[in-house]
Amino acid sequence: MSGLTHLPILAVVVPLLTAPLVALLRDRTLAWIAAVAASLCTLAVAITLVGALESVEYLAYPLGSWPAPYGIELRVDAFSALLLLIVTGASSAGLLIARDSLVGEVGSERQHLYLTAWLLAVAGLAGIVVSGDAFNIFVFLEVSSLATYVLIAGGPRRPALTAVFNYLIMGTIGATFYLIGVGLIYMMTGTLNLADMEQRISGVTELKPILVAGGFITIGLALKAAIFPLHAWLPGAYTHAPHAATVFIAACSTKVALYVLLRFDFFIFQGNLPDHEAQFRVFALPLAVVAMLVASALAIFERRNLKRMLAYSSIAHVGYIVFGAALATQTGLTAGILHMFNHALAKGTLFLAAASIGLGGAAVTFERLAGAGRRMPITTAAFVVGGLGLIGIPGTAGFVGKWYLVVGAAELGPAGVLMVVPLLVSSVLAVLYVWRAIEVAYFGSPDSARSSAPAVRAEAPLPMLAVLIVAAAANLWFGFLPSMPLTLAERAAEVLLTEPDQHK
Amino acid sequence: MIEVFGLFNYWVFAALLMTGLYTVIAKTNLVKKMIGLAMFQSAVFLLYITMDKVEGGTAPILRNDVPGQIYSNPLPQVLILTAIVVGIATLALGLSIVVRIHEAYGTIEEDEAAKMDRE
């Protein structure tokens, strides 16, 4: 029994057990300290897991010592570890600024309850990525979703309520579809353990139920992951959520759904269903391309709310990730998975900057952004770094992911080279919307806007600024030294693409 | 014929599922939407409960004095117990959001609330 044995379960248990504690601490400062400590602890667990995975392929943890496949098994491989890093990192960044940012958005007598919901969301998302059991994933999916609805609806903005209602309807339909799919697979294989399922499906002769299950699971998770055209819930939810919560949710919730989608489509169905690769490609590639183009265009035409513009950009970037995955090659999958990490960094930084600009609970409109470059130089500089990452300028983390996407597409021959075109067009569109925000921030004059909204006065408080600077620096750091996420992404792609009979 | 009736539960599953989904999509009243969502989830409960039934099987309590006894599979029932809890939590949260929408907008009609959002 080495010290590493219990790490996978700690990622879930720490936030899950701190949540009721935070609910009992009625003091807003104490509750915040406990929540931050739990989140940072989980981040430390994630980092340790990444380190531990350098020498082994995966860490398995049988819950209650019941051996798999009879008991529930947690299984952390490179893919899970990378996602766990994204989840805990985003949660920690959001929580660290929450104390300042939630003022004016969530009443101080309710903040401990808000942070409870936050920790439950962390536990749910962490649970999804460490779990190796299909039904367990469903339960964690719902735990995280229910907590996320509370996080979004907790703010003072009225449209948040209708937005979250839509999200709840679509999220529940998505999760129920997933449940139907898992049920159909269970009928045919009699197992819920993912690794066992992969083995047993290859022995199933009647493939029709598995095919139907694949459809249900793919569509259900595509709803949760906001893959175009199932993205309708996303802009409203991101725009009207409290700013700190947006940082957390935008950086990781869609990515975790994408993680489950890739886990099923590649780990389980790939190699077990005839022509699965071609079918997935034909299904996902057009959607990804349309998402990249249409959502970027929508971002350009969003002229009022900065957060809504960034939300549309998120839909476009989900398109990038799906694009990489749909190539179904080692390079393509590596690129898609790497882009999850890089996009989380860039979008997290941008929403952190948006939180500074909207401090005090104001909506982050372009009018409020006007002139921010002079009043809050550090925030705006970080915003620029995040924006460049979104475009994919060399030197930022975003570039590495996009580079691999281009290489992955070009590897497929002439047709692949053609597919590079939408990638580039979408990046040009990104230049347009990011530049408009930067132009307004540096050259816009708040007086020219006939608005009653108070202009930004000065820089945000020091803790927020520190988090923002660290996030922006991480964008540059992983732009020049991408080896850590890149290695994990490569190994994740290998795990996903290995055929079932090739596992030992 | 026997095949159609033999799959009776599955037909009911499909009908319930589609009725629920239709209600969610077609109704503008938010409470009715939640009712549709509850039906939609209940349909899946039926799917799981149906698949665990073994013909001639009894409750899975091991008895040594009855040789050759067949038991139904208990696992899907346990799973669906969890799913029912999840469904109730979702329903409760959804309805509480409807209450807050009613407080904030004065209506529980989706199109009226959307109109007020645009104004």
Q: Which among A165, A179, A180 is the nearest to B97, CB-wise?
A: A165
> Is the pLDDT at A1 greater than 50, yes or no?
no
Buried b (16+ CB within 10 A) or exposed e, A132-163: bbbbbbbbbbbbbbbbbbbbbbbbebbbbbbb
pLDDT: which is higher, A273 or A472: A472
Catalogue the E-assigned strands of A133-246. Answer: none
With a CB cutoff of 8 Å and minimum separation 6, the contacts of A443 are A373
CA distance B119 to chain A (A): 11
Does B78 contact A at CB distance below 8 Å?
no
Q: What is the DSSP letter of A502?
A: G
pLDDT at site A500: 56
Write out chain A residues lying below 8 Å of B98, CB-based: 165
pLDDT at site A447: 57
With a CB cutoff of 8 Å and minimum separation 6, the contacts of B26 are none
> Is the pLDDT at A268 greater than 70, yes or no?
yes
A173 with B21: Cβ contact below 8 A: yes
A100 — pLDDT class (breaks 50, 70, 90): confident
pLDDT at site A222: 92
CA distance A364 to chain B (A): 17
Among A70-74, A166-170, A218-222, B29-33, the minimum mean pLDDT is found in A70-74
Does A121 contact B at CB distance below 8 Å?
no
- Cα–Cα separations (whole angstroms), residue A169 to A158, B103, B104: 18, 20, 19
Q: Is-contact A325 A332, C-beta < 8 A? A: yes
Looking at chain B from residue 52 to 71, which residues have their Cβ under 8 Å from any Cβ of chain A?
none
pLDDT: which is higher, A446 or A308: A308
Q: Is-contact A32 A99, C-beta < 8 A? A: yes
pLDDT at site A482: 85
Write out chain A residues lying below 8 Å of B17, CB-based: 180
What torsion, rounded to 10 degrees, do the Cα atoms A31, A32, A37, A42 define? Answer: 100
Provide the token pair at B89. 């939590």
B51 with A146: Cβ contact below 8 A: no
Write out chain A residues lying below 8 Å of B86, CB-based: 138-139, 142
Give the whole-number percent of chain A exceeding pLDDT 70: 96
Q: Is-contact B30 A166, C-beta < 8 A? A: no
Q: Is the peptide bond before A69 cis (omega within 30 degrees of 0)?
A: yes
Q: What is the mean pLDDT of chain A?
A: 87
Q: Which among A146, A180, A186 is the nearest to B90, CB-wise?
A: A146
Write out chain A residues lying below 8 Å of B105, CB-based: 158, 161-162
Q: Which of B9, B91, B93, B116 to mutate to test the interface with A (most CBs of A within 10 A)?
A: B93
Residue among A213, A215, A205, A206 nearest A185 (CA)? A213
Bridge partners (DSSP) of residue A85 are none
A168 with B51: Cβ contact below 8 A: no
- Alpha carbons A396 and A432: distance in angstroms, whole number: 18
Closest Cα in chain B to A163 = B114
pLDDT at site A496: 84
B22-78 tens-digit pLDDT: 999 999 999 999 999 999 999 999 999 888 877 777 888 887 787 778 888 888 888
A173-192 tens-digit pLDDT: 999 999 999 999 998 888 88
> Is the pLDDT at A456 greater than 60, yes or no?
no
DSSP string across A145-163: HHHHHHHHHTSS-THHHHH
Among A373-387, A471-485, B45-59, the minimum mean pLDDT is found in B45-59
pLDDT at site A252: 87
- C-alpha dihedral sign at B27, A224, A365, A321: negative
Q: Which among B86, B93, B113 is the nearest to A149, CB-wise?
A: B93
CA distance B41 to chain A (A): 6
Does B49 contact A at CB distance below 8 Å?
no
A161 with B100: Cβ contact below 8 A: yes
DSSP string across A8-72: HHHHHHHHHHHHHHHHH--SHHHHHHHHHHHHHHHHHHHHHHHHHTTTSSEEEEEGGGPPTTTS-
Write out chain A residues lying below 8 Å of B94, CB-based: 165, 168-169, 172
CA distance B38 to chain A (A): 10
CA distance A197 to chain B (A): 16
Q: Which among A146, A165, A180 is the nearest to B30, CB-wise?
A: A165
Q: Is-contact A400 A477, C-beta < 8 A? A: no
Write out chain A residues lying below 8 Å of B44, CB-based: 176, 179-180, 183
- Alpha carbons A210 and A201: distance in angstroms, whole number: 8
> Is the pLDDT at A227 greater than 60, yes or no?
yes
pLDDT at site A60: 86
Average pLDDT over residues A220-236: 89
3-state secondary structure A407-470: HHHHCCCHHHHHHHHHHHHHHHHHHHHHHHHHHHHHHCCCCCCCCCCCCCCCCCCHHHHHHHHH
Q: Which among A139, A159, A173 is the nearest to B86, CB-wise?
A: A139
With a CB cutoff of 8 Å and minimum separation 6, the contacts of B23 are B32, B33, B35, B36, B39, B40
A408-445 tens-digit pLDDT: 888 887 877 888 888 889 899 999 999 988 888 888 77
3-state secondary structure A238-278: HHHCCHHHHHHHHHHHHHHHHHHHHHHHHHHHCCCCCCHHH
- Alpha carbons A211 and A193: distance in angstroms, whole number: 18
Q: Which of A135, A140, A172 to mutate to test the interface with B (most CBs of B within 10 A)?
A: A172
Q: Which of A66, A128, A131, A168 to mutate to test the interface with B (most CBs of B within 10 A)?
A: A168
Q: How many CB pairs under 8 A join A and B?
A: 71
Q: What is the DSSP letter of A500?
A: G
A159 with B90: Cβ contact below 8 A: no
A137 — pLDDT class (breaks 50, 70, 90): very high
Give the whole-number percent of chain B exceeding pLDDT 90: 45
Q: Which among A161, A172, A187 is the nearest to B37, CB-wise?
A: A172
A158 with B104: Cβ contact below 8 A: yes
Complex ipTM: 0.93
- Alpha carbons B60 and B69: distance in angstroms, whole number: 10
